[in-house]
Amino acid sequence: MEINWQELHDEAKRVMKLSYSPYSKFPVGVAGLVSDGRIIGGCNVENASYGLTLCAECSMISNLAMTGGGRIIAALCVDGNGNYLSPCGRCRQLLFEHGGPNLQLMTPDGPQPMSLMLPWGFGPEDLPK
């Protein structure tokens, strides 16, 4: 499936504007291309107790589950200015879980596979059956 990175970038910027980030003032948006062709998005949702804040990628994975599931094949994350962001470690794990090592993540150096972004990624296949 061809990845339209501009479409993902536009969606990430759109959903970033929906961010609830009154504490950090650092809105984040993410968009993902699902294996069935859908584009899903998410934004960060902060909480006065910072540890309860939801990253944009968490929001996107919830969106994935609520809209039929599937595998994410590409993702792009942006800050409040539309610049590419790298997901935090927890979010890299979420992306790996729902996209696997071949998920393409846009970086300032171009798309990179999750296997490079999360070396030795841990997934369902690593759990005892």
Q: Which CATH architecture has domain 5-120?
A: 3-Layer(aba) Sandwich (3.40)
57 is catalytic: yes
Domain ranges for the chain, please list them: 5-120
Q: What's the rounded mean pLDDT across residues 101-114?
A: 97
Which one of 7, 46, 57, 97 is the catalytic residue?
57
**pLDDT tens profile 50-100:** 888 999 999 999 999 999 999 999 999 999 999 999 999 999 999 999 999
Q: What's the rounded mean pLDDT across residues 33-37?
A: 97
Length of the chain in residues, anyone? 129
Q: Is the pLDDT of residue 129 over 80?
A: no
pTM: 0.93
| Nearest alpha-carbon partner for 17 in 25, 31, 28 | 28
Q: Choose between 79 and 124: higher pLDDT.
A: 79
- Residues 6 or more apart in contact with residue 56 via CB below 8 angstroms: 15, 16, 19, 28, 29, 30, 42, 43, 44, 77, 91
Residue type, 82: G
